[in-house]
Amino acid sequence: MNNPHKLNNMKNYILALGIAFSLFSCNKNADKILELESEVMTIHDDVMPQMDDIMTLKSKLSRKIMHMDSLQNEGIAGNSIAAERIKATEINQKLNESDKQMMDWMHEFRPDSAKKLKPEETILYFEAQRKKIIEVKEFTSRNIQEAKTFLD
């Protein structure tokens, strides 16, 4: 026959293993959440200073556009200046879009609300946010580089 004492010990052992696994799983999820949130914020912190670069470049582009307009008003501008003005306007619009994407991302980013979700959902949230902020960073970097190249 089965020993009831041995059976209780086995149940307690299985229960203890289950609790230990749950705690390990919770800690693993918590660590993953902290890691993802930190990564998202690090990327954000890399992109944020670029917003100042965008404003500086937009100002330089505006001055260049105004200069081209004055040349056109004086009758000095030719087709190459008109094409250059169009390009400057397009780059300026891309810089505006970079700024808008960053502002939109910041307004939509809700880390505190995400932490109230189930751990698995929180992990998915931060993974999605990481993807979004990487896209903002790449888009912004490309547009800044294009503006700098144009202005040089």
Asked whether the predicted pLDDT for residue 85 surpasses 70, the reply is yes
Q: Does residue 16 lie within any of the structural domains?
A: no
Q: Does an H or E element contain 77, and which? A: none
Number of domains the chain is built from: 1
Helix H or strand E encompassing 140: helix 119-151
Inside any domain, residue 93: yes
| Token code pair at residue 130 | 């990481």
Query: Is residue 20 one of the residues assigned to a domain?
Result: no
pTM: 0.77
7: in domain: no
Which domain range does residue 67 map to? 32-151
Q: CA 100: distance to chain centroid?
A: 12
Q: Is the separation of the CB atoms in 91 and 61 below 8 Å? A: yes
Residue 120 lies in a domain: yes
pLDDT one-digit tens code per residue, 15-73 = 655 555 555 555 788 889 999 999 999 999 999 999 999 999 999 999 999 998 888 77
